[in-house]
């Protein structure tokens, strides 16, 4: 065992957690973990991950002391119950759930976009939602150069965004349809997902006519770009793709920017790869954000359209969390990995089911 950081991975058996362990393995040169300890529910206790890591149950008997970092992806409820306890026990928590993103005392960080926000952390750092994450990597360079006044986004979100169980639901429905068998009833989504498109990704909360997934993009964009004046219109849609979210994006800039100039900016942007027509299959397993179809919008002199695709489990979640860990460990952004001061401020988002999954029965339509 090296004397590198001790890292807890909470939700290690899930869709994000599995990729989190992969990223930690792949980026071992930068992180050099002393020990990685996977946590999940009692159901998974004793499972072996990565051929050597024994899953521990996260319960009141769990020993959560002695961690430098804790990477959480076990749903907002688990984060609310446990993140602060890990901070109090000495860890810096990087949380993938929606639990703390709206808290003004908690930095919401995309590693290429606003790493400076890490300086403010008091032990708890929030990872943005996957659909916002990839959008920010693509749009921040343009916002910095000419300002973005307004954006209109339609997402095409893959089922792994809803977690392991949703991937199983897509596969089971597709297999049954192709075999001509009786299709299993939907349990994760409000409608069949195989060979279909569901025009509302996320939950309708408290009679809102936008889903929580859409609200996340509206709020998180302004927080990350530190600009409350940006208009964000978004429709989040679930499509029968296993991995990678796609986004059709239209932006209205403050200063004029041609498609060729946008292309030049993005060719230099960290974490971006330009492609003619990006696709979810090609983006799957990659850490970069793929941007293509950059073109002028003929209906407005200062508007551009583009298509943005990234792996929701990697850059949309695990990769960014591990990149934040690297920034903290490198030490050029904060003076230490462990918590600064007391526990973080309160929680502001409503309680949602595990993994913030889309409701099988929508709260309202």
Polymer length in residues for the chain: 365
Catalytic site residue from 121, 143, 210, 245: 245
Contact of residue 213 among ligand NAP, ligand 2RA, none (CB under 5-8 Å per partner type): ligand 2RA
Single residue of 25, 28, 32, 43 touching ligand NAP by CB under 6 A: 43
143 Cβ contact list (under 8 Å, min separation 6): 225, 227, 230
Of the pair 158, 192, the CB lying nearest ligand NAP is at 158
Would you call 236 a catalytic residue per the annotation? no
Is 130 labeled as catalytic in the residue annotation? yes
Which of ligand 2RA, ligand NAP, none does residue 43 bind to, with CB < 5 to 8 Å depending on kind?
ligand NAP
User: Which of 292, 290, 283, 291 lies closest to 311, judged by CA?
Assistant: 283
Is residue 356 part of the contact set for ligand NAP (CB under 6 A)? yes
Strand 245-253 to 303-310 pairing: antiparallel
Interface with ligand NAP in residues 93-112 (CB under 6 A): 96-97
- Rule CB under 6 A: say whether 188 interacts with ligand NAP: no
Interacting stretch for ligand NAP, rule CB under 6 A, among 219-227, 301-309, 324-332, 352-360?
352-360
Span 291-320, contacts to ligand NAP by CB under 6 A: 312-313, 316-317
Give CA angle at 136 (354, 143), nearest 5°: 150
What's the DSSP call for residue 314?
I
Q: How many Å apart are CA 292 and CA 334, to the nearest integer?
A: 35
CB of 20 closer than 8 Å to CB of 71: yes
Q: What angle do CA 24, 25, 31 make, to 5 degrees?
A: 50
C-beta of residue 8 within 8 angstroms of C-beta of residue 39: yes
Sort strands 289-296 and 272-274 into parallel, antiparallel or unpaired: parallel
For residue 41, state whether it binds ligand NAP (rule: CB under 6 A).
yes
- Of 130, 143, 210, 236, the catalytic one is 130
The residues annotated as belonging to the active site are 130, 245
Contact footprint for ligand NAP (CB under 6 A): 10-17, 39-41, 43-44, 58, 73-76, 78, 96-97, 129-130, 160-161, 163-165, 312-313, 316-317, 354-356
């Amino acid at each position: 065992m090296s004397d590198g950081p001790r890292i807890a991975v909470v939700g290690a058996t899930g869709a994000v957690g599995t990729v989190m362990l992969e990223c930690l393995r792949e980026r071992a040169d930068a992180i050099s973990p002393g020990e990685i300890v996977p946590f999940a529910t009692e159901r998974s206790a004793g499972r072996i991950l990565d051929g050597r890591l024994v899953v521990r149950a996260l319960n009141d008997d769990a020993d959560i002391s002695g961690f430098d970092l804790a990477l959480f992806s076990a749903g907002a409820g688990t984060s609310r119950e446990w993140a602060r306890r890990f901070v109090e026990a000495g860890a810096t928590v990087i949380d993938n759930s929606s639990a703390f993103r709206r808290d003004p005392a908690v930095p919401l960080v995309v590693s290429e976009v606003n790493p400076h926000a890490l300086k403010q952390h008091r032990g708890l750092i929030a990872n943005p939602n996957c659909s916002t994450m990839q959008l920010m990597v693509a749009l921040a360079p343009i916002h910095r150069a000419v300002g973005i006044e307004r954006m209109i986004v339609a997402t095409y979100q893959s089922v792994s965004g809803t977690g392991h169980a949703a991937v199983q639901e897509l596969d089971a429905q597709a297999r049954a349809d192709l075999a001509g068998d009786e299709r299993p009833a939907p349990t994760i989504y409000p409608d069949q997902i195989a060979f279909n498109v569901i025009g509302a990704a996320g939950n309708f909360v408290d009679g809102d006519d936008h889903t929580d997934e859409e609200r996340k993009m509206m709020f998180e964009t302004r927080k990350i770009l530190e600009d409350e004046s940006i208009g964000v219109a978004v429709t989040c849609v679930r499509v029968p793709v296993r991995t990678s979210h796609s986004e059709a994006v239209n932006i209205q800039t403050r200063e004029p920017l041609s498609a060729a100039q946008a292309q030049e900016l993005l060719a230099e942007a960290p974490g971006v790869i330009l492609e003619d027509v990006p696709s979810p299959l090609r983006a799957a397993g990659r850490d970069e954000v793929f941007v293509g179809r950059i073109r002028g919008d003929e209906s407005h002199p200062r508007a551009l359209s583009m298509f943005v695709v990234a792996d929701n489990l990697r850059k949309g979640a695990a990769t960014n969390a591990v990149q934040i860990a690297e920034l903290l460990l490198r030490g050029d952004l904060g003076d230490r990995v462990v918590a600064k001061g007391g526990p973080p401020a309160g929680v502001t988002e409503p309680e949602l089911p595990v993994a913030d999954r889309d409701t099988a029965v929508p709260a309202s339509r």
